[in-house]
């Protein structure tokens, strides 16, 4: 089975954020959630629960962002 970049979703107290996403992206998030749930042996998380871990992972692995952030210090 393919290893996804995200691990199980940790349930933390959220900060309210409202945004609109394209329908195609929502379908992709639904599919990702389904696969993630299967791999974790849990029900699929809600697509909204994927957004924060995906953004965190993206920011942690973006070398240009890390470099620019270091240069600002």
Domain that holds residue 66: 45-73
CB 42 within 8 A of CB 8: yes
CB 6 within 8 A of CB 57: yes
Exposed, middle or buried: residue 72 (CB in 10 Å: 0-12, 13-18, 19+)? exposed
pLDDT at 39 (0 to 100) = 93
Count up the domains in the chain and report the number: 1
Q: Residue 54 domain-assigned?
A: yes
pTM over 0.75: no
Q: How many CB atoms lie within 10 A of CB 9?
A: 18
Q: Residue 61 domain-assigned?
A: yes
CB 20 within 8 A of CB 72: no
Q: Residue 11 domain-assigned?
A: no
Q: Residue 62 domain-assigned?
A: yes
Q: Residue 66 domain-assigned?
A: yes
Q: Residue 50 domain-assigned?
A: yes
Q: Residue 68 domain-assigned?
A: yes
Q: Residue 52 domain-assigned?
A: yes
Tens place of pLDDT per residue across the chain (73 aa): 667 777 777 777 777 888 999 999 999 999 999 999 999 999 999 998 899 899 999 999 988 888 888 888 7
pLDDT at 34 (0 to 100) = 96
């Amino acid at each position: 089975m393919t290893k996804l970049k995200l691990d199980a979703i940790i349930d933390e107290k959220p900060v309210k954020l409202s945004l609109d996403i394209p329908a195609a992206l929502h379908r992709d998030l639904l599919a990702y959630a389904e696969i993630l749930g299967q791999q974790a042996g849990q029900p699929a998380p809600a697509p909204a629960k994927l957004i924060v871990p995906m953004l965190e992972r993206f920011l942690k692995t973006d070398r240009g962002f890390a470099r620019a952030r270091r240069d600002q210090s």
